[in-house]
Chains A and B, each alone.
Chain A
Amino acid sequence: MLSVKMIVIALFLGVLFGFALNKAGLTKYHKIVNQFRLTDFTVLKFMMTALVVTMIGVYPLRELGVITFPAIPETYVLGNLVGGLVFGVGMALAGFCPGTAMAGAGEGKWDYIVPGLLGFLTGAVLFGLTYSSFMPQLKAIGNYGNVVLPDLWHISPYLAVFVFALMALVLFYLIDRVGMHRKEKKD
């Protein structure tokens, strides 16, 4: 059972998360699909900024021994990649993902609330029912466990965060100043 404290914390974090998704405009079909058309880089800018800000916060806290990393996502090369490949198809078709659909549902979008959420539930049921027939095998391929890159490569976490932040800044520069994005075609 969840403690009342944990419920309050989860609600608080969820509300801020949904609020950020709403304000970034990611609850809109065109914002998602136009990222894949390379005419609008909101998704990438939003994600990369979030990643950099969080890692600048959590890595020093970990080095100082204040926190440990919770539930690091498991790396199993083929499954992560194939999952991503299938995910991209659905995301580009529908223009949402589970998080943005939930925030969009809160904005009053019936198409997110009814077919969207029913789709997620159906997908999750199908996954659970078929899990034992293929996932254990898939997870065994290229499995590095619950690892993060600085530990895997034995490099300084500060260096890793610095390089990642630098890569993000170069990417933002290319998008905003050099004009990496494509122009929307006129009808």
Chain B
Amino acid sequence: MNWLKQQINKELWSPYVAGALLGIVGILTVVLAHALLGASGGFENLAAYIGKAISPNNMYFNFMMKAEITYPVILLVGIFFGGMLGALSSGTFKFRTMDSEQWKKAYGKQTWKRWLLLFVGGIIVEFAAGVAGGCTSGLAISGGMLLAPAAFLFIGGMFASGIVTALIVYGKKY
């Protein structure tokens, strides 16, 4: 039992083990909730509160993604606490404004730069998830596990442009 506890508390698991856990969660999601996993959809529900204030008659926020505390929103809350639980188990929970050594090498060590780029990156990612019909969770993983072609079109596009972007950002250090 001690061995098992040690394995669970390790900061990093084998990606195959962590992936298998997610796979089981995927099955449970379909069986227990008759729904899929997702993350970007929850943000759309939350954004609808702001969107409706800006444009009260907006079709999307009134009929498609309503300002409601929906299943995807609760899922987001769960993901937050899941990340916390994981970090607490390995003793890596810590409040910090930025922590990536590799980021500092690539972009410099100014915190404002990282914050600006995460904000811009967040906008791009969430808007694109809307266009594609989901994000890495709701489309790539949830669609892929059902063998939906949408997921594989998305994954192909994501890897192609991700590689090109990393090539540009890293240049000679790629």
What is the size, in residues, of chain A's interface with B at 8 Å between Cβ atoms?
126
* Contact pattern, A 80-93, Cβ under 8 Å of B = 1, otherwise 0: 11111111111111
The number of A-B residue pairs with CB atoms under 8 Å apart is 522
- Known A-B contacts A52-B23, A126-B127; the reply to A67 vs B30 at CB < 8 A is yes
Q: Assess the A76–B150 pair: CB atoms within 8 A.
A: yes
What is the size, in residues, of chain B's interface with A at 8 Å between Cβ atoms?
133
- The binding surface of chain B is classed by DSSP as helix
Q: Which residues of B contact A84 (CB under 8 A)?
A: 128, 132, 153-158, 160-161
B135-167: which have CB < 8 Å to A?
135-151, 153-166
Q: Which residues of A contact B135 (CB under 8 A)?
A: 87, 97-99
- The binding surface of chain A is classed by DSSP as helix
* Among all A-B residue pairs, the 10 with the closest Cβ atoms: A14-B78, A119-B122, A18-B82, A83-B132, A53-B23, A84-B157, A94-B121, A22-B86, A49-B19, A123-B126
Known pairs A18-B79, A58-B146, A120-B122. 18 more at Cβ < 8 A? A15-B81, A24-B18, A30-B101, A33-B102, A33-B166, A36-B162, A57-B26, A66-B31, A80-B133, A80-B157, A81-B154, A90-B120, A91-B136, A110-B97, A111-B97, A123-B129, A124-B46, A135-B130
